[in-house]
Amino acid sequence: MTEGGAAELARVVEALLFLSPDPVPVGDLIDACEVGEVQIRNALDVLAEDLAPGRRGLVLREVAGGFVLATEPAAEHAARRLLARPKTPPLTAAQAETLAIVAYLQPVSRPEIARIRGVSSESAVQTLGERGLIEEAGRSRFGAVIYRTTELFERLFGLGSLEDLPDVSAFDPTPEDAAELRERLLRAGEQRAAP
């Protein structure tokens, strides 16, 4: 395909992404445009270049398994004024922990979440569900509802897919930290045992 062809296809792709309410997978773009994958990838490259940060009011993002247009961060303030859309509240610590457990262990049941957090996590689970970040994914063998993250979760957290989550072992404490914690636990127990 010629250079001009890629630019032209990039325009069509931009229009498709503008119209589509959800991120569009590459396969769907190929079908819709009736071209090959190479052409679509080229067109996406052209579009990504045209919409590179700082060039236009829009940027191209790859999230939730597809491509989507979004406004650039510089426009956020004016956009919230225009649409009277309040800033979404940040996640509470309880929500963030619960979401992390669901994201890494999915599908995961509520008792399992409660076991890891040490507290019943009903309200965090419910709020995350209401915010559209997690959803029910059936029931476990024991009848407990199990949860998984949603496409919206990937979109709002800028993840191309769940594969893009950082490796959970990155959050494990260092062996030294673990050893120190163990030491303190034992010491606390000893103090308690000898009043």
Partner 1 sequence: MRTADLELDLDVFAGPFDLLLAIVLREEISLLEVELGAIVLAYMEHLDEEGELDLEAATEFLVLIAALLELKSRLMLPAEEEPELDLGPEEAADELLARMLEYRRYKDAGAELSRRFADNRPYLYRSAPLPPELRRISLEASRQAYDPERLGLALGDLLTPPPVVDTSHIRPTVSLELRLEVLRGLLLRASRIDFDEAFGAEDRLTQAVTIFALLEMHKKGEATWSQRENFGPIEITGERRGAGSGAAR
Sign (positive or negative) of CA dihedral 123, 127, 129, 130: positive
Closest separation between CB of residue 153 and its own copies, Å? 21
Which of its own copies, partner 1, none does residue 169 bind to, with CB < 5 to 8 Å depending on kind? partner 1
- Which of 164, 144, 53, 62 shows the shortest CA–CA distance to 103? 164
Closest separation between CB of residue 191 and its own copies, Å? 41
Q: What share of the chain is helix, strand, coil (3-state, %, to 5)?
A: 55, 15, 30
Indicate the residue among 49 and 120 with the shorter CB distance to partner 1.
120
Indicate the residue among 25 and 189 with the shorter CB distance to partner 1.
189
Give the separation between CA 41 and CA 91, rounded to whole angstroms. 35
Which of its own copies, partner 1, none does residue 3 bind to, with CB < 5 to 8 Å depending on kind? none
Which residues are near its own copies by CB under 8 A?
A: 8, 10-16, 18-20, 24, 28-29, 31-34, 50, 56-58, 69, 71-72, 74-75, 78-79, 81-83
Q: Give 61's contacts (C-beta < 8 A, 6+ positions apart).
A: 67, 68, 69, 70, 158
Task: Give whole-number Cα distances, 70 to 11, 132, 145, 167, in Å.
Answer: 16, 19, 34, 27
Give residue 160's identity as a one-letter amino acid code: G
Indicate the residue among 42 and 98 with the shorter CB distance to partner 1.
98
Which of its own copies, partner 1, none does residue 124 bind to, with CB < 5 to 8 Å depending on kind? partner 1
Which of its own copies, partner 1, none does residue 14 bind to, with CB < 5 to 8 Å depending on kind? its own copies
